[in-house]
Amino acid sequence: MSQSEGTPVTAAAVVNIVQYILVRGDLISKLEWPLGAVVAQACHASSAALHLFYEDPITQSYLKDLDNMHKVILEVPDEQELLAVEKVLQSKEIKFKKWIEQPENYPTCIALKPYVKTDVQKLLRKYKMLK
């Protein structure tokens, strides 16, 4: 059982807790959204995931040290890839929030709940940091 499935979190694990956020790169490159609007999407998704999974022990550990929270913002090329990632995460029972911008109804990003890095990193390796 991984640490994110309910086993106690050790002090060593707390420093390795990360929240991954996957953002569509085409929002900037092709759809020409302002950078601030794209950043807002990631913020919305992150906040929503923290709220949805607030009672989770890993989320609680993550929030106990606000000055040292670690987030990794990754880029997926487009909506199709974002939806493909969603299916993979669902199949692996990884908890997340997909943010859908309204009123346009655009899926813009996915924020995972905080996880011990080694529990999810392998699923996201192919994606690079958002540029």
Query: What region, left, alpha or beta, does residue 58 occupy, with left being phi > 0 and alpha being psi -120 to 50 degrees?
Result: alpha
Domain boundaries, the chain: 15-129
| Paired tokens of 105 | 């109804």
The whole-number average pLDDT for the span 1-6 is: 47
pLDDT at 110: 98
Please tell me the CATH superfamily of domain 15-129, with its number. Bit1 (3.40.1490.10)
Q: What is the pTM of this model?
A: 0.88
Q: What is the pLDDT of residues 16-74, one digit of tens each?
A: 999 999 999 999 999 999 999 999 999 999 999 999 999 999 999 999 989 989 999 99
Say yes or no to pLDDT of 8 above 60.
Answer: no
Q: What is the pLDDT of residues 65-106, one digit of tens each?
A: 899 899 999 999 999 999 999 999 999 999 999 999 999 999
Instruction: Kindly give, in sequence order, each residue whose CB lies less than 8 Å from that of residue 55, ignoring residues fewer than 6 positions away.
Output: none
